[in-house]
Structure 1
Amino acid sequence: MSRRTDSRAPRDPRLDPRPRLGPLYLAGFTTAFGAHGVAAALGTESENIGLTLWGLGLILALYDIAEVVLKPVFGALSDRIGTKPVIVGGLLVFAAASALGVFAASPALLALARLAQGGAAAAFSPASSSAVARMVGPGQAGRYFGKYGSWKSLGYAGGPLIGGALILWLGLPALFVVLAVLAAVAATATAWRVPALPVLPKQRVTVVELFRQSTAPAFLGPVVLLAVATSTLGIAVGFFPLIGAQLGLNPIVGMGLVTVIAVISAAVQPRIGRLHDEAAHRAGPLMAAGSVALVLSLVLAGAIPALPILIVAAVLVGAGVGIVTPLGFARLAATTPPDRMGRTMGSAELGREIGDAGGPILVGAVAAAASLPIALVVVSIATAASAALGATWAGRGSPATADDDRG
């Protein structure tokens, strides 16, 4: 048997040959739905609940701040005590935080609910990714991470749409009720259907070894590409509708652009995941193609701001995110020992959160000094440079190379 086969993360022999991942897909949908649904709702309801623009910005940031700080922590915790307790516990806390949001009559309580939601999502999101990786093994990681990412994309698309409809018909508390029910159902289903993965013995790691692992090309390459994808997605979701508004388009058209991105991403990810499992050697060229699509989307939106071009740019963003996301996670799953899968997934999620926040901030800063079209073109250059660096590292840290290093 080859060294590469020996070093792969095996599936636990006690697991069903058809992994029970439905509850984990629902958990992914819940965190995405909660992130975008509440954010969109607060923007429309800020005056009704007495929020200033500064207060709105702070509450919107609290969810992401909690995730950035806590995802690596909970990812490492899932390695220590098991993924299932962290997923179930995180979902239950998310349900409780959403229930608090139902009765949040003041901005302070709303901020507390949002902070608690972000902290809870920081627990069950990386633990869910780790559970997917360990339950399916590297040979099927692309296929199942494609499905997992597809469900998250549906949450990102459905959040603003369903959330907007709920607050229009029933008010903001109804959105928090739905989130509480979703999280409770996901927690119950996870506790009932998802097997408890054994906690694997961990080797003692020195500070030097930890630094070496965190800066290895096999880790940095996929994480940088994942950050590029989420950065472009954040820019598109935040600024494509604004460009549409500047063109005098109906706000529904701007929301439609976001929906196009999410639907294309949801459709592409499972197919790309299957392609990865059937021909893993194509992952590098595919990730490069996805990165090109992401860069081109920003160039087109900035250089030719017109509705047909925005639609093309939205399709490119959806395709780029749909290509890079499952391939990045599949590559991480194939090159990470199972005993530190949670820590790796938590750190990867941290990279995505930094990209999600950093991209829009950079566009906003450049746009304030120049203009939005110029900002998009400038950021596309930074995106291209980051993607090239990530692709170079990912190529150096191919699964075969990583296996040799670990053997």
Structure 2
Amino acid sequence: MPTADPPVSRASGVELGLRQNAAQFTLLVAVNALVGGVLGQERTVLPLLAERAFGLSAHTAVLTYILAFGLAKAGTNYLAGAWSDRFGRKPVLVAGWLVAVPVPLLLIWAPSWGWIVAANVLLGISQGLTWSTTVIMKIDLVGPARRGLAMGLNEAAGYLAVAGTALATGYLAAAYGLRPAPFLVGVAYVALGLGLSALVVRETRDHARLEARGHTPRADGRQDHLHGELTQRQVFVQTSFREPALSSASQAGLVNNLNDGLAWGLFPVLFAGAGLGIGRIGVLAALYPAVWGLGQLVTGALSDRWGRKPFVVSGMLLQAGALALVAAADTFLVWAGAAVLLGAGTAMVYPTLLAAIGDVAHPAWRARSVGVYRLWRDGGFAAGALLAGVLADLYGIRAAVWVVAGLTAASGVLAAVRMYETHQRTDPAPAG
């Protein structure tokens, strides 16, 4: 457990608010865009590389890299929250970029599929450390009034970079081959991200301590049992199972990334099987995260005004409908429309779930709660890869998509029944 430090205040130069911390916040948005870009280098190219360079035909075997990525990222998310409290946010962020250094090089030179899987273990560790820490740091900086907007900007930057890089690498692969050209983009991202994080990013832990000093309980008393310091075990139990809003967010996050793991690993194979070329597959692979990324600029801020629960429930149900459309369609235009709907549904859910965690978790243990939530959420990558791969091998890709669509709809219904509204809608401070 982290040791208690002397309280900090505005007199020490630490203030909460988006405007007061605009420079560091903007820098962290840029850093998270680079984090997303490192992930995006794989989305179009790797499923095709599995079949064409390594001769993998079984869908379960192809998806081993997503399984490895999901397990590594989920576990590292959990550790990132605890380590951010213990050692500070910046050291964890820099460590994540250091782990990423060999990833694009392994993807370029891998002589066998096992090397690709190993690269994705490192990628998962890196993404868990870097993405989790940028989330925690932005929540630290802005305080409670603009939390949805902050998460919208953070996730928009990351997933717009995923989309842009997926599109760019698709065109690079079509023009220059599957290796090495697409992964040279990743080399540049890692170098720039490491340099900015080590030399320019500043520590934000004092901002969380300042917020903890002025933290006020909800008027309805719903979260009174969560105030003050909790042990790591208590944080895990509350976030995973016991606290209705935290646990509802955790299950919705898991199912959201379960269907994203399906989209990442099997959609390019489905589209290729229908006769689409690499360029068009790259467009579809980019369209979904592009709408997801852009949409979060709107949905995160709106959840600060309208509340979190409506976006979570509606977003999960919209994703389910979009997945059903993917399963039923067989043309580029219909798949493009489904990708837009899937991106819109994910945009409604993604920043809102993170904001809900920030609403409920006390600042003293919020970083650890974010880590637990992201453990469950990114465990969805592993669950999605395993479930979708097995179902696709047994019954075909379309059957796998139908099953995941049903699970996504069930998740939305569960959130509607169990989750309460977490955001106390008050007028934000003018300076925030």
TM-score exceeds 0.5 = yes
Q: TM class, shorter-chain normalised?
A: 0.7 to 0.9
In structure 1, distance between residues paired with 2:145 and 2:170 = 40
Note closer, same or farther for the CA distance 1:172–1:53 as it changes in structure 2 (3 Å cut).
Answer: same
Note closer, same or farther for the CA distance 1:221–1:19 as it changes in structure 2 (3 Å cut).
Answer: farther
Does residue 181 of structure 1 match 2:198?
A: no
- Report deviation, 1:208: 5.2
In structure 2, distance between residues paired with 1:172 and 1:76 = 38
In structure 2, distance between residues paired with 1:379 and 1:308 = 22
The more displaced of 75-84 and 163-172 is 163-172
- Report deviation, 1:148: 1.3
Does residue 205 of structure 1 match 2:231?
A: yes
Note closer, same or farther for the CA distance 1:212–1:149 as it changes in structure 2 (3 Å cut).
Answer: closer
- Equivalent residue for 1:302? 327
Residue 236 of structure 2 contacts residue 369 of structure 2 at CA under 8 Å; is this kept in 1?
no
In structure 2, distance between residues paired with 1:377 and 1:50 = 28
Of 75, 84, 88, which residue of structure 2 is paired with 1:78?
84
In structure 1, distance between residues paired with 2:401 and 2:52 = 33
- Equivalent residue for 2:246? 219
**Residue type at the aligned position of 2:154:** Y
Identity of aligned residues (%): 24
Note closer, same or farther for the CA distance 1:106–1:284 as it changes in structure 2 (3 Å cut).
Answer: closer
- Equivalent residue for 1:115? 121
- Report deviation, 1:319: 0.4
Does residue 41 of structure 1 match 2:45?
A: yes
- Equivalent residue for 1:24? 28
- Report deviation, 1:32: 2.8
Of 86, 91, 94, which residue of structure 1 is paired with 2:97?
91
- Normalising to structure 2: TM-score of the pair? 0.77
Residue 67 of structure 2 contacts residue 383 of structure 2 at CA under 8 Å; is this kept in 1?
no
Residue 236 of structure 1 contacts residue 314 of structure 1 at CA under 8 Å; is this kept in 2?
no
Note closer, same or farther for the CA distance 1:188–1:341 as it changes in structure 2 (3 Å cut).
Answer: farther
In structure 2, distance between residues paired with 1:150 and 1:126 = 14
In structure 1, distance between residues paired with 2:414 and 2:279 = 37
- Equivalent residue for 1:143? 149
- Report deviation, 1:112: 4.4
Residue 30 of structure 2 contacts residue 157 of structure 2 at CA under 8 Å; is this kept in 1?
yes
Note closer, same or farther for the CA distance 1:265–1:38 as it changes in structure 2 (3 Å cut).
Answer: closer
Query: Aligned residue pairs: how many?
Result: 389
Residue 229 of structure 2 contacts residue 365 of structure 2 at CA under 8 Å; is this kept in 1?
no
SS at match of 2:419: helix
- Normalising to structure 1: TM-score of the pair? 0.82
In structure 2, distance between residues paired with 1:116 and 1:354 = 16
- Aligned ranges for residues 319-338 of structure 1 at < 5 Å? 319-338=344-363
Residue 144 of structure 1 contacts residue 273 of structure 1 at CA under 8 Å; is this kept in 2?
yes
- Report deviation, 1:381: 2.1
The more displaced of 172-181 and 321-330 is 172-181
Q: Which has the higher helix share?
A: 1
Note closer, same or farther for the CA distance 1:209–1:169 as it changes in structure 2 (3 Å cut).
Answer: closer
- Equivalent residue for 1:127? 133
Residue 298 of structure 1 contacts residue 376 of structure 1 at CA under 8 Å; is this kept in 2?
yes
- Report deviation, 1:299: 2.1
Per-residue displacement from partner, 1:270-306 (whole Å, max 9, x unpaired)? Answer: 01112122x143x222222212211111222234544
In structure 2, distance between residues paired with 1:297 and 1:14 = 39
**Residue type at the aligned position of 2:15:** P
Does residue 370 of structure 1 match 2:395?
A: yes
In structure 2, distance between residues paired with 1:252 and 1:293 = 27
Note closer, same or farther for the CA distance 1:368–1:104 as it changes in structure 2 (3 Å cut).
Answer: closer
Residue 240 of structure 2 contacts residue 250 of structure 2 at CA under 8 Å; is this kept in 1?
no
Does residue 382 of structure 1 match 2:400?
A: no
Residue 255 of structure 2 contacts residue 407 of structure 2 at CA under 8 Å; is this kept in 1?
no
Note closer, same or farther for the CA distance 1:14–1:141 as it changes in structure 2 (3 Å cut).
Answer: closer
- Report deviation, 1:40: 4.0
In structure 2, distance between residues paired with 1:78 and 1:136 = 17
In structure 2, distance between residues paired with 1:301 and 1:46 = 22
SS at match of 1:20: helix
Residue 36 of structure 2 contacts residue 159 of structure 2 at CA under 8 Å; is this kept in 1?
yes
The more displaced of 347-356 and 69-78 is 347-356
In structure 2, distance between residues paired with 1:250 and 1:47 = 14
**Residue type at the aligned position of 2:302:** L
Residue 305 of structure 1 contacts residue 373 of structure 1 at CA under 8 Å; is this kept in 2?
no
Residue 239 of structure 2 contacts residue 373 of structure 2 at CA under 8 Å; is this kept in 1?
no
- Report deviation, 1:175: 4.7
In structure 2, distance between residues paired with 1:170 and 1:312 = 28
**Residue type at the aligned position of 1:94:** A
User: Which runs of 5 or more residues in structure 2 are unaligned?
Assistant: 1-9, 213-227, 426-432
SS at match of 2:202: coil
The alignment yields a C-alpha RMSD, in angstroms, of: 3.4
In structure 2, distance between residues paired with 1:380 and 1:57 = 19
